[in-house]
Every structure is written in C-alpha cells, then in structure tokens.
Amino acid sequence: MTQERGVDLDAFVSEHGAEWNRLNTLSRKRRRKLTATDIDELVALYRRTATHLSVVRSRSADPTLVAWLSRLVLQARASVTPSTGFSVAAIGRFFQITFPAAVYRSGAWCIGVGLAFVGLAGVIMAMVANDDDLALKFLTEDQIRSLVDHDFAAYYSDHLPQNFAVGVWTNNALVSAICLAGGVVIVPTLFMLWQNMLNVGVIGGIMIGNDRADVFFGLILVHGMLELTCVFIAAGIGLRIAWAWIAPGPYLTRTQSLATIGRARIVGALGLAAPLFVSGLVEAFVTPLPIPIPIKLVFGAAVWLGFLAYIVILGGRATRAGLDGDVAAHEREILAPTV
C-alpha cells in the first residue's frame, strides 16, 4: 500500500511540478513588475496549488512535500494579498472601531469580573479591619505599623515620577496580558485576579482598621478606578475566549469558535496599553500631589468616566453597525451547523 501511494505521489508531482515552479517564480517577483496577465496567472496558480496541497495532505504523509507546498501557498497568498502596512487610517480604525467594539461586546463578562472582584475584596477588607489576629497572619506588627504610618503613602512618591510611571505601566500591562492570554485555560486569570484581590483587601483592611481609610481610598482610587477597570476588561475578555471553546454553539466546532472569538477579542491586549499608560501617568504624577484629596478624586473620576464613555459610545456604535475586531466577512470561512 505504501509503495502504491508513493507511485501515485510521484505521478502527481510530475504532473503539477511545472505549475508549482511557475507559481514560485511569479510569487517571488516584485508586485510592481507583474503585468496584468502575470497577476491573473498568479491568482489561478495560487488557487490550484492550494487545492493540490489539500490533496497531498489527504493522500500522502510526505512531510517534505507538504511543508514545501505550504510555504509556497503562504508565499503566493502574501503576493496576491500583500499587507497594506502602517497607515494612520488603520490606527484610527483600531481606536475608533476595533478596540472599543471588542471591549463592548465582552461588556457583560468585564462587568461580572469587576463586581466579583470589588465584592470579594470588600469582604476581605471588612474581615481584616475587624480582626487584628487575621491581619497578623499576613504581616507582622512592625510591618503593619510601618505600612500605616509611612509605607503606603510613601510608595507613590519615593521614586522619580517618570520612572515610576514606566514601572507601573509595565507591571499593569503584564498583569492584564496574563489575565487576557491566561483566560483560555481559565486558571491563570483567576489566580491573577485572586492575588490582586487579596492584596487590595488585606492592605485596605489594615488601613481601615487603623483609622486610615481616608488615606487608603484617597490615594488608591485616584488611579485605581481606571487601572482596575483595565484589569477587569482583560480578565473578562480572557474568560469570554475560554467560554468560546466550552460552549461553541451549534454552528462552530470548539476550534472554530475559539479562533472566531479570539480574532475579534485578542486586540484588547493591544488596546489596553493606552489606558494603562494614562493610568500610570495619573498614579505617578497626580496621586502623590500635595493637594486636597477630593480634587484628585475628581480628576481620577473624570479620566475613568471619559474612558467608559469612549467604550460605550464608540463600541456601541460599532456593534450596532455589525463591526468588530474580526477579519472582514469575505475572508471568514463559510459555516454550517455542526449538530
């Protein structure tokens, strides 16, 4: 049986080898040097070779030929549909449509994560604030006294603002990226949320229990409203992607569902870099300012509400227009019910 397949494969290569070589030659040419006839031939050979690749994969286990044809098809596709490259219009579309639509479409998941985080962190705060022995399970008495009297407030002013802003931005971007990418397998996202929830709850509980609630909320909320919202968005999108393979629906396999949602939502990883950068600037330059706390809170709330309005207005508009972060409709596969 193996020998027969080998003979069939040899005949197949002999029959179509000239076409593949011609496609290789055309796809290597600079696009501006191709004539209209060359482009028509390139498209025809690309489609034909893609079919040949499918045939070879189904009839032969020859990895060398499969790899060569795969490379040829990808090379030809890049020549047929070249990248448009960098453009201001593409950046504008990303921030006007792609990013806000991706967040808006996962809004229920992001809100759910946010409510769960705030609720559980509040419970932890209340428990730690009302139980000195519980606080001592996390920090020693000296550490608690240092945190309350100096360390918490000094954290925001002990470093040069520009260096602090970059460090905060980098850390928050990493946390968000883990929440987003880790959502596919769920556990990393939940673990990262729990770590941050526990940290906020314990420190908040200690500050509240020592009558420093004004200092705690007056400092953390200035930047934390926007910062935590970005984390909630990353986790919500990550968990939405996980749900895509848990419950793919009647029209998609699990792999197709994961790919479809992932294409449209993963842009959140890129888009969140901008609001996280703004949050880092607020934390480094506004939070430690020696001005009344209410003024800082108003500024932080204005930045936060501005971001929410941006997502709701532009994301809602894009969603109602049927736009999202996925590839164009004509580039997607045609789907049929799987059940």
**What tens digit of pLDDT does each residue of 137-155 get?**
999 999 999 999 999 989 8
Do 189 and 41 lie in one domain? The reply is no
- Which of 80, 96, 130 corresponds to the end of one domain? 80
The rounded distance, in Å, linking the Cα atoms of 212 and 233 is 30
The rounded distance, in Å, linking the Cα atoms of 199 and 117 is 12
Query: For residue 339, is it within any domain?
Result: no
Sign of the Cα pseudo-torsion (72, 78, 79, 80, in order): positive
The rounded distance, in Å, linking the Cα atoms of 170 and 166 is 6
Do 57 and 119 lie in one domain? The reply is no
Do 104 and 62 lie in one domain? The reply is no
Report yes or no on whether pTM surpasses 0.75: no
Do 69 and 93 lie in one domain? The reply is no
**Contact predicate 238/184, CB 8 Å:** yes
The rounded distance, in Å, linking the Cα atoms of 247 and 184 is 13
Domain enclosing residue 41, as ranges: 2-80
Number of structural domains (the chain) is 2
**Contact predicate 229/274, CB 8 Å:** no
Q: What pLDDT does 53 receive?
A: 82
Rounded CA Rg of the chain: 27
Of 334, 246, 276, the C-alpha closest to 99 is 276
- Which of 59, 80, 101 corresponds to the end of one domain? 80
Q: Show the low-confidence residues of the chain (pLDDT under 50).
A: 1-7, 327-339
**Contact predicate 284/272, CB 8 Å:** no
Do 208 and 97 lie in one domain? The reply is yes
Q: What pLDDT does 179 receive?
A: 85
Query: For residue 159, is it within any domain?
Result: yes
What tokens appear for 177 in the block? Answer: 């990226």
Q: Would you call 86 exposed, middle or buried from its count of C-beta atoms within 10 A (0-12, 13-18, 19+)?
A: exposed
Q: What pLDDT does 213 receive?
A: 93
The residues, ordered by sequence, that sit 6+ positions from 226 with a Cβ below 8 Å of its Cβ are 275, 278, 279, 282, 300, 303, 304, 307
**Contact predicate 284/165, CB 8 Å:** yes
Do 174 and 106 lie in one domain? The reply is yes
Query: For residue 338, is it within any domain?
Result: no
Give the H or E element holding residue 333. none
Do 161 and 257 lie in one domain? The reply is yes
The rounded distance, in Å, linking the Cα atoms of 219 and 200 is 13
Cβ neighbours, 10 Å, residue 230: 26
**Contact predicate 236/180, CB 8 Å:** no
Do 187 and 307 lie in one domain? The reply is yes
What tokens appear for 295 in the block? Answer: 């003024």
Q: What pLDDT does 211 receive?
A: 92
